[in-house]
Structure 1
């Protein structure tokens, strides 16, 4: 695809749809902006101000002990007293309802966590929009997927100090930008066969969020060709709230060229409209 081949009106319309759908998920009643606490669970039952029950991390997984006047709804069933969620897989989440809120029970970096989500959280109710660069077809780049012989485990840092994530990488994505060829380590993407890259660039900490952005890439074709649309470089939840455990890019994914495309620093972090 070349810039001359693009219907710029349709291109902008599709980008606006993508951007709007992302914001709807982010600001949904139980989306990331509704989170009121990031609680690291330990073996001793502990109560928190923003969720019912006393919560603990045990050999049988996360356990909550509810007082007589407390209850949760799990998979449509009301539970009372002591309830064990079972062992939760890394990067998995379970949800339990109470009132108009939900409690996310999850495992991140080998630790069990509790994250209550309240629709009335001020971060959510005050949200308006995420600043972004205007969509520009010139930021759509052809690339090539270079697979590893077998997936490689890659350890990356996290938005939470001292936490690490381990992801299997199927290979790298190679593309040209700013007169140079770059290779970014890729992880599995959000669609079957798709890829995702975490990266920073010359705009990071200036006009875009300093720690990371993510780019989803469609499945490679039979020749390994892929398309990178940097207009869809997206903020992760940690760009909006400290109550997220987002992964950081591997060292080789830190570009020096400025990618002036995609989502910018959120207003909540001092960004400009």
Structure 2
């Protein structure tokens, strides 16, 4: 069912949405956020150098290693690093940030592959960023649904913004809800914080007014009775909506909603979205 917001609360509702929007944009445009990424490099056993990062990099069964030339230095966990440094085996969706001057060198694992992804504050995509177009917040897009846990977490393989890459999530359950009287459901993935959920989805606006590949909705833990609030006004873009240097997951097939969700963030200007 739809959550109705009294007119007296509309101002507070809008202000809360604006706070969320500003936080999203500030995180995206952080000096070392995704708009600062300058390259995406896939590691293997062959040592290689990259023009926007120091050292020679490779990976193997024991994880990622960088070998820095004389005069090159990184700072890892607050400590200066010279010569050879072993990052070790990085867990899936994990990562380490190594500082290099005013840049950060992200060392991470995505889809089973080790990557190096430098982030420079003066990256043109970041310095030219002027904000993301969005729909105006509207209480009609705040929906109360019901979380239905699976008997056991369900391994779910999804595609990625990068061709031939896959992500695997242990889906803990699904969320059923209604929009305009139409029954719908979304498979949920683990979100941030204990009990939090994440929903990846597309809808009838995807590729028209919203980014074609995906949007994401972060949800608070369900209540004791299983109810959960989906505020589609906070449907956000993942980094791949702005840059080809991201490895974002795509929604599972069942999360393609057959309705137009005219709420949340729209196609970024960087992808030709409306000003």
Give your verdict on TM over 0.5. yes
Secondary structure of 2:6's counterpart equals: helix
Question: 2:101 maps to what in 1?
Answer: 99
CA distance in 1, matches of 2:165, 2:139: 37
* CA deviation map 1:76-101 (0-9, x unaligned): 11111111101000000101011100
Tell me if structure 2 keeps the 8 A contact 1:95–1:103: yes
Q: Which moved more, 1:251-260 or 1:172-181?
A: 172-181
Question: 1:175 maps to what in 2?
Answer: 177
Tell me if structure 2 keeps the 8 A contact 1:105–1:113: yes
Secondary structure of 1:17's counterpart equals: helix
After TM superposition, the score normalised by the length of structure 2 is: 0.97
Question: 1:185 maps to what in 2?
Answer: 187
* CA deviation map 1:180-226 (0-9, x unaligned): 11110001112321111000000000000000000011111111011
Tell me if structure 2 keeps the 8 A contact 1:46–1:54: yes
CA distance in 1, matches of 2:138, 2:182: 20
Matched ranges for 1:67-146 at <5 A: 67-146=69-148
* CA deviation map 1:139-196 (0-9, x unaligned): 0011000110011110000000000000001100000014311110001112321111
Question: 2:264 maps to what in 1?
Answer: 262
Question: 2:51 maps to what in 1?
Answer: 49
List gaps (5 residues or longer) in structure 2. Answer: none
* CA deviation map 1:125-147 (0-9, x unaligned): 00011110000000001100011
What do you get for the CA RMSD once the two structures are aligned?
0.9
CA distance in 1, matches of 2:61, 2:5: 56
CA distance in 2, matches of 1:93, 1:109: 13
After TM superposition, the score normalised by the length of structure 1 is: 0.98
User: How many residues in Structure 1 have an aligned counterpart in Structure 2?
Assistant: 273
Q: Give the ranges of 4+ consecutive aligned residues of structure 1 lying more than 2 Å apart after TM superposition.
A: 3-6
Tell me if structure 2 keeps the 8 A contact 1:207–1:271: yes
CA distance in 2, matches of 1:33, 1:65: 27
List gaps (5 residues or longer) in structure 1. Answer: none
Question: 1:158 maps to what in 2?
Answer: 160
CA distance in 2, matches of 1:140, 1:19: 16
Tell me if structure 2 keeps the 8 A contact 1:142–1:227: yes
Tell me if structure 2 keeps the 8 A contact 1:178–1:257: no
2:18 corresponds to which of 16, 19, 40: 16
Matched ranges for 1:243-262 at <5 A: 243-262=245-264
Following TM superposition, by how much is the alpha carbon of 1:6 offset from its aligned partner in structure 2, in angstroms? 6.2
